[in-house]
């Protein structure tokens, strides 16, 4: 068995061509590994250097919007990478990154997944996987150390991610898609460990386009022993620093260690950040829809408005009931748990399920648990859908895990349909109801389910119906396949109603559960992230106030934080471990693993190069479609023009005004060293 080629890096990638049905080992130059730092940085370099996208990809037409659809072409690469922290004892590093052209946005996407997949892949001897082409029939990729093979798997067609994991039990870590990815739903996510998703950007659809149902990875003890760490003692010392920091936080009663992100509704609603009723508010108070600015420009309704809570509003949701605290009240025996070993934070919680009135015995496994949803899900599948209890969010969360869908974009898509239905803006032929595909809650199979806010049974029923639909077939679900932004475009073209004004996104990526109208500088972070509206690509050290004031002074800190996060996402450390992992400790761990004497500042400089590389890749794409980068960077209309109706940020939009928005964006371009059109030097 071949050992690692370099200290800290296996130095090899498994190159899979699904069209040719071939697998080969490709080696990586040491310089790429060190400059890319592994994970995101290295995967981006490999994506750009080995990009297999053929010119014919630009001829593909999106089945829903009729626009470009490069991501769907078989030649689009799909990468799964690990970083230097995987396979080590660094805490909270059970992660891997998926990089591709996003099926949802058609631009660069990097998205992270927990569980043990990243550990196993690196221990098996791989920096990552590069997958191109598309198989004729459904296949799975089976990796055991440095051996790999493609296996036809017609028996897994239509299987949920959970059924897939059960069927492939014994083959190591399983990373699979459900019917969402198989059907090409543009916000599908591959899932591992039953509930850990590579959530954003629809990379599950990329698996589906390639007819790749699952990847399994196992690593033998012999393979693990081949890892080369430059200075194990120095690494142990760095890990010790992190453990001590985490121990201090736990003993100090840091609520994150008891509730994970699930207390988010309390903080986010109080600060006007929590998406409510399709981003029409951010404080948990559903406004009367007729009061919003978008209604002013509207034509008369096409179909009869659906009587719902938001038409009659304002209606206040209960942030406490939506939070994890309420969930724990209802599940007093729930245990805090970690799923990305080794993780001293263990941010999840689960309870034993009750079957036929009897609580199951023994330690619950991931296939049979009662999970506490995290904040993004509580907001996007909760308040944004007019739901007010964390218990009501669980079924929708569960459906996303099994079908393999992103909870953020699922919440964005379903809430948009609810708003348009309540406004009477859906095409008349679609009606304002859909048929329940199975019995749930008050519905029997075949019952009509009305599109409206505040119905806990709607998300699981609608998502199941969505995954059974055909994209672009002229039906409501056929349009919803493309996600919220594509759906709005279709409705607008069919009815003339300004449905696109009801979306919240940047570059086509649905806004996460943090409304930028409630925080100064947040909009610029969304606008400048290469993936679009992600809340995980930047952060400010201190509260920044409201966007009534300019964010111009925040631009240097924004760039600094983006670069720091690229380092974290390249080493691959969970974002939640940041507070307990000082920059110096991360640099020491890097040196201990790789032998490269880089300082934190050196690593951040390398991160800046990665940022520009991904940006240049996006800009080249837009230019080939005749589109301007600066226009692509703008947020959608609602976030720029529709003020928040209530809460501490009442009256705020994302910037002070249009001039402030333009000034902030140009300052950002200038400080990044880009030209006035937002083009980095690297591609000049």
Q: How far is the CB of 38 from ligand SF4 (least distance, A)?
A: 17
The residues with which 124 forms a beta bridge, in sequence order, are none
Q: How far is the CB of 394 from ligand SF4 (least distance, A)?
A: 18
Query: Would residue 454 be called left, alpha or beta, if left means φ above 0 and alpha means ψ between -120 and 50 degrees?
Result: left
Positions 498 through 557 that interact with ligand SF4 (CB under 6 A)? none
Q: Which is nearer to ligand SF4, 246 or 464 (CB)?
A: 246
**By rule CB under 6 A, what string of x and - marks binding of each residue 314-353 to ligand SF4?**
------------------------xxx--x-xxxx-----
> Where does 154-312 have alpha helices with state H?
161-167, 179-182, 203-209, 221-224, 232-251, 256-259, 264-270, 309-312
Q: Which is nearer to ligand SF4, 134 or 574 (CB)?
A: 574
Q: How far is the CB of 338 from ligand SF4 (least distance, A)?
A: 4
Is 582:241 a contact under the CB 8 Å cutoff? Answer: yes
Q: Which is nearer to ligand SF4, 146 or 575 (CB)?
A: 575
* SS3 assignment for 382-431: CHHHCCCCHHHHHHHHHHHHHHCECHHHHHHHHHHHHHHHHHCCCCHHHC
Positions 620 through 679 that interact with ligand SF4 (CB under 6 A)? none
* 281 contributes a contact to ligand SF4 by CB under 6 A: no
* SS3 assignment for 418-486: HHHHHHCCCCHHHCCEEECCCCECCECCCCEEECCCCCCCHHHHHHHHHHCCCCCCCCHHHHHCCHHHH
Number of DSSP helices (H) and strands (E) in the chain, helices first: 26, 23
Q: How far is the CB of 344 from ligand SF4 (least distance, A)?
A: 8
Q: Looking at 540, 576, 600, 637, which residue binds ligand SF4 (CB under 6 A)?
A: 576
CA distance 176 to 213: 6
Q: How far is the CB of 47 from ligand SF4 (least distance, A)?
A: 25
Q: How far is the CB of 43 from ligand SF4 (least distance, A)?
A: 19
Q: Which of 409, 493, 434 is nearest to 187 (CA)?
A: 409
Q: How far is the CB of 96 from ligand SF4 (least distance, A)?
A: 12
Positions 80 through 109 that interact with ligand SF4 (CB under 6 A)? 92, 94
* 39 contributes a contact to ligand SF4 by CB under 6 A: no
Q: How far is the CB of 366 from ligand SF4 (least distance, A)?
A: 13
Is 27:12 a contact under the CB 8 Å cutoff? Answer: yes
3-state secondary structure of 188: strand
Q: Which is nearer to ligand SF4, 343 or 426 (CB)?
A: 343
* 114 contributes a contact to ligand SF4 by CB under 6 A: yes
Number of residues that bind ligand SF4 (CB under 6 A): 13
Q: Which is nearer to ligand SF4, 65 or 86 (CB)?
A: 86
Is 129:71 a contact under the CB 8 Å cutoff? Answer: no
Which sign does the torsion angle of CA 474, 478, 481, 487 carry?
A: positive
Q: Which is nearer to ligand SF4, 134 or 571 (CB)?
A: 571
Q: Which of 56, 60, 61, 71 is nearest to 106 (CA)?
A: 71
Residues forming contacts to ligand SF4 in the complex (CB under 6 A) are 92, 94, 114, 338-340, 343, 345-348, 574, 576
């Amino acid at each position: 068995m071949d050992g690692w080629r370099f200290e800290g890096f296996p130095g090899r990638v498994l190159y899979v061509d699904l069209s040719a049905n071939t697998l080969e080992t490709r080696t990586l130059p040491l310089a790429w590994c060190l400059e890319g730092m592994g994970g995101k940085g290295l995967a981006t370099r490999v994506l750009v250097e080995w990009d297999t996208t053929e010119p014919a990809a630009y001829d593909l037409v999106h089945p829903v919007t009729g626009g470009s659809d490069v991501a769907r072409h078989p030649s689009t690469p799909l990468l799964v990478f690990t970083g230097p922290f995987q396979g080590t004892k660094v805490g909270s590093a059970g992660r891997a990154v998926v990089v591709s052209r996003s099926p949802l946005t058609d631009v660069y996407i990097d998205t992270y997944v927990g569980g043990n997949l990243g550990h196993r892949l690196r221990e098996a001897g791989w920096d990552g996987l590069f997958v191109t082409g598309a198989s004729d029939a459904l296949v799975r990729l089976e990796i055991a150390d440095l051996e790999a093979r493609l296996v036809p798997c017609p028996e897994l067609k239509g299987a949920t991610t959970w059924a897939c994991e059960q069927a492939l039990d014994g083959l190591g870590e399983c990373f699979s898609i459900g019917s969402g990815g198989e059907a090409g739903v543009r916000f599908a996510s591959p899932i591992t460990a039953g509930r850990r998703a590579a959530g954003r950007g629809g990379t599950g659809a990329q698996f589906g386009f390639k007819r790749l149902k699952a990847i399994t990875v196992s690593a033998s003890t012999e393979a693990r022993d081949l890892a080369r760490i430059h200075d194990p003692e120095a690494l142990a010392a760095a890990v010790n620093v992190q453990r001590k920091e985490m121990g201090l936080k736990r003993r100090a009663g840091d609520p994150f260690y008891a509730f994970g992100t699930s207390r988010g509704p309390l903080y986010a609603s109080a600060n006007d950040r929590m998406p409510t009723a399709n981003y029409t508010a951010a404080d948990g108070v559903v406004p009367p829809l007729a009061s919003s600015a978008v209604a002013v420009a509207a034509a008369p309704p096409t179909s009869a408005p659906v009587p719902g809570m938001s038409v009659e509003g304002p209606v206040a949701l209960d942030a406490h009931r939506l939070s994890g605290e309420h969930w724990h009240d209802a599940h007093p025996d729930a245990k805090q748990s970690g799923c990305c070993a080794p993780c001293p934070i263990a941010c999840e919680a689960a309870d034993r399920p009750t079957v036929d009135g009897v609580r199951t015995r023994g330690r619950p496994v991931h296939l049979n648990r009662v999970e506490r949803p995290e904040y993004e899900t509580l907001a996007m599948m909760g308040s944004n859908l007019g739901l007010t209890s964390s218990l009501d969010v669980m079924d929708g969360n569960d459906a996303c895990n099994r079908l393999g869908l992103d909870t953020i974009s699922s919440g964005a898509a379903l809430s948009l349909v609810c708003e348009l239905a309540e406004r009477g803006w859906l095409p008349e032929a679609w009606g304002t109801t859909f048929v329940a595909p199975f019995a749930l809650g008050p519905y029997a199979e075949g019952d009509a389910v009305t599109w409206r806010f505040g119905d806990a049974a709607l998300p699981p029923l609608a998502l199941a119906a969505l995954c059974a639909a055909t994209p672009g077939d002229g039906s409501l679900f056929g349009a919803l396949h493309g996600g919220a932004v594509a759906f709005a475009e279709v409705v607008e073209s069919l009815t003339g109603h300004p449905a696109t004004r009801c979306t919240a996104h940047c570059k086509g990526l649905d806004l996460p559960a943090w409304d930028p109208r409630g925080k100064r500088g947040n909009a610029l972070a969304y606008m400048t992230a290469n993936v679009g509206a992600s809340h995980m690509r930047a952060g400010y050290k201190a509260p920044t106030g409201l966007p009534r004031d300019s964010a111009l002074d925040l631009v240097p800190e924004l760039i600094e934080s983006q670069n720091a996060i690229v380092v974290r996402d390249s080493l691959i450390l969970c974002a939640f471990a940041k507070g307990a992992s000082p920059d110096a400790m991360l640099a020491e761990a890097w040196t201990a693993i790789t032998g490269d004497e880089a300082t934190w500042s050196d690593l951040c400089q390398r991160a800046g190069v990665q940022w520009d590389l991904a940006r240049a890749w996006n800009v080249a794409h837009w230019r080939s479609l005749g589109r301007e980068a600066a226009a692509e960077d703008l947020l959608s209309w609602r976030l720029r023009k529709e003020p928040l109706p209530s809460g501490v940020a009442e009256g705020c939009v994302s910037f002070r005004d249009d001039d402030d928005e333009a000034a902030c964006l140009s300052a950002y371009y200038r400080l990044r060293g880009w030209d006035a059109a937002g083009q980095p030097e690297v591609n000049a």
